[in-house]
A and B are shown apart, each in its own frame.
Chain A
Amino acid sequence: MKVLVAVKRVVDYNVKVYPKADGSGVEIANVKMSMNPFDEIAVEEAVQLKELGKATEIIAASIGVSQCQEVLRTALAMGADRAVLIETDAAPEPLVVAKLLKALVEREQPGLVILGKQAIDDDCNQTGQMLAALLGWGQGAFASKLTLGEQEIEVIREIDGGLETVALKLPAVVTADLRLNEPRYVKLPNIIKAKKKPLETLSPGDLGVVLATQMTTLKVAEPPKREAGIKVADAAELVAKLRNDAKVI
């Protein structure tokens, strides 16, 4: 079975970002970029499925500027077999990303698509569910364990009250939560090998998708800052403050 994995290039999770001076967006020039952490987990899961003999080929796909090749090379170094970049300078909304991925699914016919549950820049948490809807497939969103069978995949999902298990008919879409696995470190020989693996570049037009937008960002600003308070010496002083000043206990 082929597995398709979607990887997004985002501002590294360790970087503190700021609004642009004119408030029109987020300043991302000269900022360290990386693969979205949830997508690393998605790639790792696909690679483990291949190591278990359950996946035959792993295709990594990214949508965005030409530098997305870097995150695709990382996916290849982790163990993906080939990569597809759908190149655009626009920052497409999740619905458009889902449409592009759907077109790719129709071309590649994977048995399983794995995405991250959430991109840590826009914090949308939408694309996987949208892709599943467009394909009419089942969705295992926020997955913390996968068991891949012949006809079905069993997915343990992280939900507000605990864990839920669902079985989805294959083909299906899954989105990776934090505890699905721990992504491997890529070793230097694999980085070198990854340079020789195929990386194809397409345009949205090649896939017949129009980049429509339904959302305009009017303003980006920092939320009001919280002031640091005081240090208290011990538990007794803390309890007194909470009772008499803050009046919360």
Chain B
Amino acid sequence: MKNILVIAEHDHATLKTATLNTVSAAQSIGGEIHILVAGSNCAGAAAASAKIPGVAKVLQADAGHYAHHLAEDLAVLIAGLAKDYSHVLAPATTFGKNLMPRVAALLDVTQLSDIVGVENADTFVRPIYAGSMLATVQCSAPVKVITVRSTAFAAAASEGGTAPVETVPAAAPLGVARFIGQELTKSERPELTAARIVVSGGRGMGSSEGFKLLEDIADQLGAAVGASRAAVDAGFAPNDYQIGQTGKIIAPELYIAAGISGAIQHLAGMKDSKIIVAINKDEEAPIFQITDYGIVGDLFKVLPELFAELDKLPPA
């Protein structure tokens, strides 16, 4: 059997956690695992990849034109390497979703998006229709190009391995796309997809000032802040807070939803959370069908009370 190639998501110096979940999906397929770190001055991320137990080899492609992870340029590199592999996996983040279909098309193969289960080396489970159904699909392509939903696979360990790092030549830049800039949301809080607790607001929050109530509670709990699409569209929260079918998929230990009705497109992004709490003034709101603890009430009254209660709480 051929080996499996995992495409690392990284910021050149460090690995993004979703890479570790992707390695773990690769492990459940079985086979020797290699990791590709393509970047610019990315020795740090390559060294971090080498420490993942179970990784046999790290491929490092270092070039200026990989500095901004442009899919146009990375896809050429990966398609060139892929013929030696049975599977090529990347996280189903905006990085992987942008890149992997391009890789697959260059290889003339189909692509599997967002897998949540591995049945065997060619059969996988993936959600369809906003997660309201799970499809088991068999793929006959000679190379399986896959994106992995990180909430479905535990993160692989990040320490203990000693894989060799091998340099691979960069591919020539395609020259059709140019990076101009980024506007990243700055926050001291944990990253949404990695947070143990997420507090999330919907249209019911009423305004971006309303979100302040949630932010205070998030800071008490060391939580990340999320939002529904309606809250993002209304400008209460930045786009990268959106949770759902077309936003981020998360599965924290605790998810607190305030002023969110519970549309299927929203549930798609959070229904695998361990404990779900909802605060909503409408007792018929669909979100209550999946909550462990629900409070029917006005969030502008309940959230300040929650803040006060948490403030009184002795350390666990």
* A residues whose Cβ falls under 8 Å from a Cβ of B: 11, 13, 16-17, 19, 26, 38, 93-95, 98, 117-118, 120-134, 136-139, 141-142, 144, 152, 154, 157-169, 172, 177-179, 213-223, 226, 228-236, 238-239, 241-243, 246, 248-249
Cα separation A249 to B198 with both chains bound (whole Å): 12
Chain B residues whose C-beta falls within 8 Å of the C-beta of A168 in the assembled complex: 176-178
* Apart from A124-B113, A126-B104, A230-B293, 20 more pairs, CB < 8 Å: A26-B128, A26-B133, A93-B110, A120-B245, A129-B71, A129-B97, A132-B72, A157-B94, A161-B184, A164-B179, A167-B177, A167-B180, A220-B134, A228-B291, A229-B291, A230-B292, A236-B309, A246-B293, A248-B197, A249-B254
Chain B residues whose C-beta falls within 8 Å of the C-beta of A125 in the assembled complex: 97, 101, 113-114
Cβ-based interface call for B135 (8 A): yes
Cα separation A166 to B71 with both chains bound (whole Å): 11
Q: Are A162 and B239 in contact (CB under 8 A)?
A: yes
* A-B interface, 10 closest residue pairs, ranked by CB to CB distance from nearest: A133-B105, A129-B101, A126-B101, A229-B292, A235-B305, A130-B105, A138-B176, A138-B177, A165-B180, A214-B110
Q: Are A232 and B293 in contact (CB under 8 A)?
A: yes
- In the complex, the chain B residue whose C-beta lies closest to that of A142 is B94
A89 to chain B, nearest CB (A): 19
Cα separation A237 to B200 with both chains bound (whole Å): 20
Chain B residues whose C-beta falls within 8 Å of the C-beta of A165 in the assembled complex: 179-183
Q: Are A242 and B275 in contact (CB under 8 A)?
A: yes
Chain B residues whose C-beta falls within 8 Å of the C-beta of A95 in the assembled complex: 104-105, 108-111
B interface residues, tally (CB under 8 Å): 93
Chain A residues whose C-beta falls within 8 Å of the C-beta of B176 in the assembled complex: 136-138, 168-169, 172
Q: What DSSP secondary structure best describes chain B's contact surface?
A: mixed
Cβ-based interface call for B156 (8 A): no
Chain B residues whose C-beta falls within 8 Å of the C-beta of A93 in the assembled complex: 110
Chain A residues whose C-beta falls within 8 Å of the C-beta of B123 in the assembled complex: 218
Q: Are A178 and B248 in contact (CB under 8 A)?
A: no
Which of A19, A163, A242 lies in contact with B277, CB distance below 8 A?
A242
Cβ-based interface call for B81 (8 A): no
Q: Are A218 and B138 in contact (CB under 8 A)?
A: yes
Chain B residues whose C-beta falls within 8 Å of the C-beta of A221 in the assembled complex: 133-134, 136
B268 to chain A, nearest CB (A): 9
Cβ-based interface call for B157 (8 A): no
Instruction: Encode B246-259 as 1/0 by CB contact (under 8 A) with A.
Output: 10100001100000
Q: Are B309 and A13 in contact (CB under 8 A)?
A: no
A169 to chain B, nearest CB (A): 5
Q: Are A248 and B253 in contact (CB under 8 A)?
A: yes
Q: Are A126 and B111 in contact (CB under 8 A)?
A: yes
Chain A residues whose C-beta falls within 8 Å of the C-beta of B180 in the assembled complex: 154, 165-167
- In the complex, the chain B residue whose C-beta lies closest to that of A128 is B101
Q: Are A138 and B72 in contact (CB under 8 A)?
A: yes
**Provided the pairs A218-B123, A249-B254 are in contact, do residues A223 and B134 lie with their beta carbons within 8 angstroms?**
yes
**Provided the pairs A120-B245, A160-B240 are in contact, do residues A136 and B110 lie with their beta carbons within 8 angstroms?**
no
10 contacts between A and B (CB under 8 A): A26-B129, A118-B246, A124-B111, A126-B104, A126-B113, A132-B72, A133-B101, A133-B102, A133-B105, A238-B309
